[in-house]
């Protein structure tokens, strides 16, 4: 009995980090055939810590090279819109983006007064001509424990 319990605990400790890294990603429009196909999102750390840098890494692929564009990022806290920003695509990844697989990373430090809880990000990638290349939505959490400030 003790061996089964120890094996179960070991399995939980081994599998939990792999499960925690998986972030569910959905298309904004499920029927859309976006030119950029997003295969995953990794959030580090997860949950996000207030006052500490967090990195959102998007893995994607494209059939056509992308020379310019922008990312439009909307953040909701539960159902309330709390933040929007537009970033130059070429500041988040190196341009031009060749056809094939690529990744882009966005780093953000949230203020230490940011409320803990569940948030939703909608990210649109728009090409240089204004065409929507992709649109995804995914959730993330901000932990309840804020780091202690250095003095």
| Proportion of the chain above pLDDT 90, given as a percent | 69
Name the CATH superfamily housing domain 22-142.
Answer: Ganglioside GM2 activator (2.70.220.10)
pLDDT of residue 2: 43
Residues with Cβ within 8 Å of residue 73, at least 6 apart in sequence: 83, 84, 85, 86, 87, 106, 121, 122, 123
Residues with Cβ within 8 Å of residue 151, at least 6 apart in sequence: none
CA-based end-to-end distance of the chain: 50
Identify which has the larger pLDDT, 145 or 2.
Answer: 145
Mean pLDDT of the 15-21 span: 40
What's the pTM? 0.78
Give me the residue spans of the domains in the chain: 22-142
pLDDT of residue 150: 45
pLDDT of residue 32: 94
Please report the sign of the dihedral spanned by the C-alpha atoms of residue 42, residue 47, residue 48, residue 52: negative
Return the structure tokens found at 35. Answer: 């030119």
CA distances for 142 relative to 56, 69, 85, angstroms: 13, 29, 19
């Amino acid at each position: 009995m003790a061996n089964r319990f120890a094996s179960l605990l070991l399995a939980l400790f081994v599998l939990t980090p792999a499960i925690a890294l998986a972030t569910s990603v959905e298309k904004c429009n499920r029927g859309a055939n976006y030119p950029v196909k997003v295969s995953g999102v990794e959030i580090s750390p997860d949950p996000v810590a207030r006052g500490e840098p967090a990195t959102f890494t998007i893995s994607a692929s494209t059939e056509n090279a992308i020379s310019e564009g922008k990312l439009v990022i909307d953040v909701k806290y539960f159902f309330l819109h709390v933040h929007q920003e537009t970033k130059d695509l070429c500041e988040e990844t190196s341009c031009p983006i060749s056809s094939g697989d690529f990744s882009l990373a966005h780093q953000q430090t949230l203020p230490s007064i940011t409320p803990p809880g569940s948030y939703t990000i909608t990210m649109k990638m728009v090409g240089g001509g204004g065409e929507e290349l992709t649109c995804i939505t995914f959730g993330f959490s901000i932990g309840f424990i804020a780091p202690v400030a250095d003095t």
